[in-house]
Amino acid sequence: MPRQRRINLPGVIHHVISRGIERRVIFRDTADREEFLRRLGECLEKTGGQCIAWALMPTHFHLLIRTGEKALSELMRKLLSGYASYFNRRHQRHGYLYQNRYKSTLCQEESYLLELVRYIHLNPIRSGIVSEIKFLDTYPWTGHSVVVGKKEREWQKVEEVLARFSSTRREAVTKYRKFIRDGVGMGKRDDLRGGGLRRSAGGWEGVRALERMKEYWRGDERILGDGNFVNEVLRVVEETMTKKEQLLRDGWDLERLAKGISKEFEISKEELRGKSRAGILPMARGVLSYLGTHEFSISGTEIARYLGISRPAVSYLIERGESYLKENRINLTF
């Protein structure tokens, strides 16, 4: 079954999980964790995203992200590729660091934001890394310590959480702590680990109840929320796809895009796909990479294959192409 496209909408909440390949350790020491968090802060600033909750575990991490003006996929591409390069260089290793794609679930904010904050921040307790809840306040590798004021991370949106408990910070922290303690006995919370109709409806019994009432919800494993929320998200997603689908119907594909860029930069298509880095060629490839991924939803892997380069190199080119397009007008008539 082909994998589904990412849902890239501004201002929505995503629960993001990424694991090490073969569940191997991706954070070996304090230096690794601090570097990952430093990069996370930079990526949030560049994309306009906000981090509401987070937890770094030895083999994986959880993030609760509100998207900004740029897509979640762009934030995660910058973060994951940059950290993987750092990790491999520092630990003298090669190859993939992560297991498959990262998993992201778009969540209905009113129903799930606080539950996800609690679920994410309690990860060290559930795994036994932190033995008792009283030690979680000073444990540095989740956002909990930041919410209660024991640690500082400028990029973490603490008020997103505390404002939901009280307008007074001291009272909000007290109520938040109680909320966290109340969740210790809840276990793994499978209902928060993914989206879809079954979880949104309250399990298979809930689905059968909907069928008996002849009430049909659209289900989507990328979304965690009730039926109305799932329907609305999918409606917006379908509307945003209209432009891209029209471009494809009009005959725009990677070959035509390459032809248009070659004409714009006054180079041949052979030069665009060649190995030379002279003159404007790297910038032309950057524009191809940026427009291909952002306007046509062409995968970075497909662009890498087309240009005969590595997938990480495409990530670098996307950034160059974006910078160029911000500074220069380019019109490929689409």
Bridging pattern class, strands 50-56 and 60-66: antiparallel
Cα 27 from Cα 293, distance rounded (Å): 30
In degrees rounded to 5, what are phi and psi of residue 187?
75, -150
**More confident site: 138 or 69:** 138
Least confident interval from 125-129, 230-234, 283-287: 230-234
Range of the domain at 284: 250-327
pLDDT digits (tens, 9 = 90+) for 316-331: 898 888 888 888 766 6
- Do 155 and 266 sit in the same domain of this protein? no
Angle between helices 72-90 and 30-47 (to 10 degrees): 150
pLDDT digits (tens, 9 = 90+) for 260-275: 899 889 999 899 999 8
Tokens of 89: 């260089």
Share of the chain above pLDDT 70, in %: 77
Helix (H, G, I), strand (E, B) or coil at 15: strand
pLDDT at 199 over 50: no
Least confident interval from 57-71, 130-144, 295-309: 295-309
Cα 78 from Cα 138, distance rounded (Å): 29
Tokens of 129: 């890394």
The pLDDT of residue 219 is 44
- Do 254 and 213 sit in the same domain of this protein? no
The answer to whether 175 and 166 are in contact (CB under 8 A) is yes
Please indicate, yes or no, if residue 286 is contained in any of the structural domains.
Answer: yes
Please indicate, yes or no, if residue 334 is contained in any of the structural domains.
Answer: no
Complete DSSP assignment for 99-137: SSSPEEEEE-HHHHHHHHHHHHHTHHHHHTSS-SGGGGG
Domain count, the chain: 3
Mean pLDDT calculated for residue range 158-186: 94
- Do 18 and 164 sit in the same domain of this protein? yes
Whole-structure pTM value:
0.67
Mean pLDDT calculated for residue range 245-263: 75
**Mean pLDDT estimate for the chain:** 83
The answer to whether 321 and 291 are in contact (CB under 8 A) is yes
N-terminal to C-terminal alpha carbon distance within the chain: 31
Cα 119 from Cα 132, distance rounded (Å): 16
Mean pLDDT calculated for residue range 98-102: 89
The pLDDT of residue 166 is 95
pLDDT at 226 over 70: no
Q: Residue 86, CB half-sphere, CA atoms under 13 Å: how many?
A: 18
Cα 53 from Cα 328, distance rounded (Å): 37
The amino acid at residue 86 is Y
- Do 132 and 76 sit in the same domain of this protein? yes
- Do 52 and 117 sit in the same domain of this protein? yes
Mean pLDDT calculated for residue range 287-312: 86
- Do 62 and 158 sit in the same domain of this protein? yes
Please indicate, yes or no, if residue 332 is contained in any of the structural domains.
Answer: no
- Do 143 and 55 sit in the same domain of this protein? yes
Cα 136 from Cα 129, distance rounded (Å): 10
Helix (H, G, I), strand (E, B) or coil at 224: strand
Bridging pattern class, strands 223-224 and 103-107: parallel
Please indicate, yes or no, if residue 333 is contained in any of the structural domains.
Answer: no
pLDDT at 163 over 60: yes
